[in-house]
Chain A
Amino acid sequence: DIQMTQSPSSLSASVGDRVTITCRASQSISNYLNWYQQKPGGAPRLLIYAASTLQSGVPSRFSGSGSGTYFALTISSLRPEDFATYYCQESYKAPLTFGGGTRVEI
């Protein structure tokens, strides 16, 4: 099975900050990497698929990069509604593994 390692597990930031979350795969997964946002009490929301393609309706301050084993999610200027937990997920092969999550808090 492919292991997905996110870092950091949590971070503190302020409105307006540039934030980067990283995700490493235990083997090459090409660009088969998705990012999700989850707020407390809510279901996850797809932000980015295929490593760098923005899902419809997602603000352009979110961007994804990377391929192979190293990936990153960047929020260019943090807004109050961005405080949440973020997960990466590989879609290279089953089982479709998620990273452990990164909590972004004030």
Chain B
Amino acid sequence: EVQLVESGGGLVQPGGSLRLSCAASGFAFSSYWMSWVRQVPGRGLEWVANMRPDGGEIYYVDSVKGRFTISRDNAKNSLYLQMNSLRVDDTAVYYCARDKIVGPSNFDYWGQGTLVTVSS
């Protein structure tokens, strides 16, 4: 069974940092692109970043470029999102999602999400 379990969310002050983790199981993690998607409570979905299995390609939404860093450890079947210089508008539930092997992206498995609250 495919499982994605996020952790690391919490309350942080503006300008602070947080590192999210996503533990993957039940599939060949090292073969898949992986994505982070966020959702402000009560609002729509926003794709944040994705990463090729070998780390050779990485993409970000403009609003997080230079502040967030996606990374992965294939030996540990884990995906990460390092979030620096956090802003109030980064407050959201952050989902880890399994992306493609090849071809166009689609997110066929999602974690339960972890809430990040940026507030003073």
Contacts and interface: CB of A to CB of B under 8 A. Distances in A.
Interface residues of B, number: 21
B44 A44 contact: no
A96 B105 contact: yes
Contacts, number: 59
Interface residues of A, number: 24
B9 to A, nearest CB: 14
Contact of A43 (B35, B61, B105, B112): B112
Contacts of A100: 44
Interface of B: 35, 37, 44-47, 50, 59-62, 95, 104-108, 110-113
Interface of A: 1, 32, 34, 36, 38, 43-46, 49-50, 55, 87, 89, 91-92, 94-101
